[in-house]
Amino acid sequence: MNFNADISSFEKKIGYTFNDKNIIYEALSHSSFANETKKNSNERLEFLGDSVLSIVVSNYLFEHYKHLPEGHLTKVRASLVCESSLYEFAKTIDLGSFIMLGKGEENTGGRKRPSILADAFEAVIAAIYLDGGIEKASEYVLSFIPKDLSLKKAVSNNDYKTILQEVIQKNPEEKIEYFLKDAVGPDHDKTFTIQVKLNSNVIGEGVGHSKKQAEQAAAKEALMLMGYEI
């Protein structure tokens, strides 16, 4: 892999040139590649990118859809930042071609795996934020928001984490958190088990091939156990 050439091509794809090339190198480094090369993976950047993505999209919706109440804004945001949407965004910039993968992940189709592409997309957001600030990160994120955003479709999106959060928010003193219970299997086919807790009590558990999928499954189980029809 010609690192400099690949980074230059990627910068042209996204319309942003990095001052610190190391940060985009890290953003494009999947854990399977990092384990083989003893380098940092993009997981910490993914964590930060998730928060930057949320605040940028939240601010955009708040400013452009002043007629929508809080509950609807939450659901629209959820539809834009969910794994399936990020996967579609990532495909438009051919992100899979630039991600650095370990041999096992490479051989099992990792470049097309939705969870890997969605996580890398968030890591790139964080890289731009750290390198160029919130304004540049906002420009990048908002370039993927559909100009003809279908609010009806977005509001009807079944995002179980959002629904659960809305249920819990009716009691301000309550707090829900998601915890990783287990992660088994090789890097290219890992299975995650996530528990969702209300205060300190487990109210749901879910399994998935990405943490986001497992969190959704855990939230869904919690809602079902609480008597909500899903």
Q: Is 50 a catalytic residue?
A: yes
Out of 105, 119, 122, 215, which one is annotated catalytic? 122
**Sequence-distant (≥ 6) Cβ neighbours of residue 170 within 8 angstroms:** none
The sheet with strand 176-184 has its strands ordered as 176-184, 191-198, 201-208
Beta carbons of 123 and 139 less than 8 angstroms apart: no
The residue count of the chain comes to 230
Report the alpha-carbon distance of residue 9 to residue 124 in Å, rounded.
14
Among the listed residues 108, 124, 96, 116, the one whose alpha carbon sits nearest the alpha carbon of residue 30: 116
Contact status, residue 32 vs residue 102, Cβ threshold 8 Å: yes
Report yes or no: 81 and 69 within 8 Å, Cβ to Cβ. no
- Lookup: tokens for 98: 């630039």
CA–CA separation, 6 and 15 (whole Å)? 14
Query: To the nearest 10°, the Cα dihedral for 111, 57, 80, 23?
Result: 10
Q: What does each C-alpha distance from 12 to 7, 9, 16, 94 come to in angstroms?
A: 9, 5, 7, 12
Active site residues: 50, 122
